[in-house]
Structure 1
């Protein structure tokens, strides 16, 4: 993923990244404009669910967005029955 340099507006390419938690990633970016040379870090966070996972992690809580609906437990049971 690339960001725009906040100083000159050029593309800043991702050089490295690391998981901070199941919902948070830190990335380091380098501006592609050699005259600018800005290097900076960003944080990317999962903030809401748009479509529920078919394999949810019970240790991770991600709130549902306004239009997303929690899955019906009966639907999950049906999916489990057809998977095996």
Structure 2
């Protein structure tokens, strides 16, 4: 899979060429325009925002709790 994003200069497809990890949740990505007459290069930042509080795990239910009336 390729990361693509529109070129801010001409609007053509820009393809990710390099990725630099800044932290566990942030990356800097270098893009290059796919239009050879433009050739613009640009940098973007991708950052994930995990939930502030961890989602608690639910206790596993026993199979006996799933009894059906037959």
**TM-score (normalizing by structure 2):** 0.70
Q: Greater relative contact order: 1 or 2 (C-alpha under 8 angstroms, separation 6 or more)?
A: 2
Bigger Rg, structure 1 or 2: 2
Bigger fraction of residues in helix: 1
Aligned pairs, number: 58
**TM-score (normalizing by structure 1):** 0.60
In structure 1, stretches of 5+ residues that fail to align are: 48-61, 79-84
Bigger fraction of residues in strand: 2
Question: What stretches of structure 1 move > 3 A for 4+ residues in a row?
Answer: none
Root mean square deviation, CA, Å:
2.2
